[in-house]
Amino acid sequence: MTTVVNLVAIKSRKLLGQLAYRKIPVSKVQRRLVGRYALEPEIDLGDFTCRAVIDWISIRLWLGRETQHQWLQRDVEAALGERCYIEPLDKRSGGVSDLFEFRVQEPDLVKVRRLCRTFYGKYDLQMPPVVSEMEISVDFTPKHPGDLARAQLFTALTRHFQPSRDVMGHRRDRPRFTFGRGANDTVGVIGRPRSGSGDKDHFLISSTTDRQAFVDATYYVGAEDSDMRWRIMDKVLDRQNRAAGTSLVLGDKMKRVRIEVTLGRPEVAALGIDFLDDLKGFRITRLQAKAFAFVLPTFLDPARARPSVRTAAHVWNDRQRMEKFLNAGAIGLKAMDAALDRRMKALRRASQGDLAKKGLKLKAPPRIGVGSSGTFVSYEAMNERVGMALRHLRERVAAAFSVPDKDL
């Protein structure tokens, strides 16, 4: 039986094709993985180029004197050749402030360093420029352009992405996708009760109310105001300004699938970045572990298990787990496993008292899926490609900071 995910585009209302999966025997020696197989997408990542970029960076300035934002904007345009968003953070009478934040899209870090040196001379900065937020993206561009290739890669990213923090504990953090502007065009991936009452774990375990993301939608994980949030999209437009209603339609060769992480100030600091110059020591390995990790789900292989009632129960349970994964990805499956574990522990607690009165004990449950990794294994092919792209980004950033200050 072939395991597939249908690739449906909502905007064109078309079935673009399918992403097929193959079963890979797990050769790991850990007890939690004995007798299991991993589910891996049939997609050749060598058919895509992979590049990581700093999509934008926000820098905070503490000036030695008050001024208005338009005077900073003039210096920005002279140094960068374009305007950028500048916000006074402590505006006073007359619209002046000595604390500003400005955001640079697709930053040329040599030019940004040169701009900050200008600010030092003109405004007597009271401390080095602070990196307050940044967004980092990894783009996958098919070597042979086509909607199907991008749809398959989008589906692989949304199914196998594993965030480093809990995104199920708060409703606004949960995975969702949007294909328009209104609330009716935003859909939660994992079903939930309409009200605060009811068995919440039922919706985490069941897959009947889950919704698969359309391949031309934008997939979100993390609340809009969280310090670490993600977005996965089929990028067919660039320089989009929703307020002005303008955008650049990309040619087929430029269309790509993107996963991006937005890092607030606490997460930027956790990477060892306080000031702009700290970027030269960018901790790429830590960034990948925190923001760009991908996993494969594993399931019991009946052919490698001894026939028994317990094996039959595990096989039935894994059919439900596979459906959950195909619908809601690794995030949904991890939430399902946690809910099943809570139910099992509750049942054991309810049974132990009666059994103890009869002098009986429950047999200890098998230690499968115990620990932070659960029953997942690393999606090595994807993690290696992303890791290489991030290392190349680090090299480009380091090169930008190798230019001596006197040469800026």
> Over the stretch 177-188, which tens digit does the pLDDT of each residue have?
999 877 778 999
Determine, yes or no, domain membership for 349.
yes
Q: Which residues contact 396 (CB under 8 A, 6 or more apart)?
A: none
Closest to 339 measured CA to CA, from 207, 189, 202: 202
Q: Could you tell me the pTM of the whole model?
A: 0.90
**How far apart are alpha carbons 73 and 82 in whole angstroms?**
9
**How far apart are alpha carbons 366 and 397 in whole angstroms?**
48
| 364 has a pLDDT exceeding 80 | no
**How far apart are alpha carbons 219 and 163 in whole angstroms?**
13
What is the per-residue pLDDT for 372? 54
Bridge partners, residue 49, by sequence: 141
pLDDT averaged over the chain?
Answer: 88
**How far apart are alpha carbons 176 and 29 in whole angstroms?**
36
Q: How confident is the model at residue 100 (pLDDT cuts 50, 70, 90)?
A: very high
User: Above pLDDT 90, what percent of the chain?
Assistant: 67
Residue 321 contacts residue 341 (beta carbons within 8 Å): no
What size, in residues, is the chain? 408
Are β-strands 14-25 and 3-9 bridged in parallel, bridged antiparallel, or unpaired? antiparallel
> Looking only at Cα atoms, what is the longest distance across the chain?
84
**How far apart are alpha carbons 73 and 70 in whole angstroms?**
5
**How far apart are alpha carbons 268 and 202 in whole angstroms?**
37
Closest to 262 measured CA to CA, from 296, 298, 220: 220
Hunting for tokens 């609340």 — which residue is that?
A: 223
What is the per-residue pLDDT for 198? 57
Bridge partners, residue 262, by sequence: 135, 229
Determine, yes or no, domain membership for 38.
yes
pLDDT average, residue stretch 254-280: 95
Determine, yes or no, domain membership for 338.
yes
Number of neighbouring beta carbons within 10 Å of residue 72: 23
Tokens read off for 407: 């040469």
Distance from CA of residue 194 to its chain's centroid? 26
DSSP secondary structure letter of residue 340: H
Beta-strand runs (E) in 169-297: 176-178, 186-188, 218-221, 228-235, 237-241, 246-249, 256-263, 295-296
pLDDT average, residue stretch 321-337: 95
| Residue range 10-55, pLDDT digits in tens | 989 999 999 999 999 887 667 777 888 999 999 999 999 999 999 9
Determine, yes or no, domain membership for 30.
yes
Hunting for tokens 């001894």 — which residue is that?
A: 306
Q: How confident is the model at residue 8 (pLDDT cuts 50, 70, 90)?
A: very high
Domain that holds residue 12: 3-42+297-357
CA distances from 131 to 83, 165, 274, 312 (A): 19, 22, 6, 55
Q: Which residues contact 246 (CB under 8 A, 6 or more apart)?
A: 239, 240
**How far apart are alpha carbons 42 and 23 in whole angstroms?**
10
For residues 139-150, one letter each, b for 16 or more C-beta atoms within 10 angstroms of the residue's C-beta and e for the rest, the string is bbbbeeeebebb
What is the per-residue pLDDT for 114? 94
Where is pLDDT greater, at 238 or 210? Answer: 210
Determine, yes or no, domain membership for 29.
yes
Closest to 58 measured CA to CA, from 87, 35, 28, 27: 87
Determine, yes or no, domain membership for 303.
yes
Determine, yes or no, domain membership for 102.
no
Hunting for tokens 């930027």 — which residue is that?
A: 268
Determine, yes or no, domain membership for 344.
yes
User: 13-27, 202-216, 335-349, 385-399: which range is least confident on average?
Assistant: 335-349
| 148 has a pLDDT exceeding 70 | yes
Residue 270 contacts residue 135 (beta carbons within 8 Å): no
CA distances from 102 to 86, 98, 124 (A): 4, 13, 17
pLDDT average, residue stretch 197-212: 82
pLDDT average, residue stretch 99-111: 95
Instruction: Tell me how many domains the chain contains.
Output: 1
